[in-house]
Amino acid sequence: PYIGAHPAHRNLIVAAGHYRSGLHLAPATAQIVRCLIHDEAPPFDISAFSLTRGRTAASYWNLNPSIGQ
């Protein structure tokens, strides 16, 4: 899944892409989102869920200013 604050819009929290594991991951995802909303450190490293991981993710979230120009 992708979990984190959008780099261009810090007040936008994204928690998406869980596919079939949404129900199983809901408690952990909710805990992470709660921490992000309250500007607290999540209980574990969430870098693996970064919105900016991989070129496909950056394109999807339109994080590269040169895309579409």
Are 4 and 48 a contacting pair, CB within 8 Å? no
pLDDT digits (tens, 9 = 90+) for 21-66: 889 999 999 999 999 999 999 999 999 999 888 766 556 666 655 5
pLDDT, position 69: 46
Question: DSSP state, 63?
Answer: -
Q: Distance between CA 40 and CA 35 in Å, rounded?
A: 5
Q: Distance between CA 57 and CA 42 in Å, rounded?
A: 22
What residue type is 46 in one-letter code?
I
- Token representation of residue 10: 């810090």
1-5, 11-15, 21-25, 52-56 — which is least confidently predicted?
52-56
Q: Is the pLDDT of residue 3 over 50?
A: yes
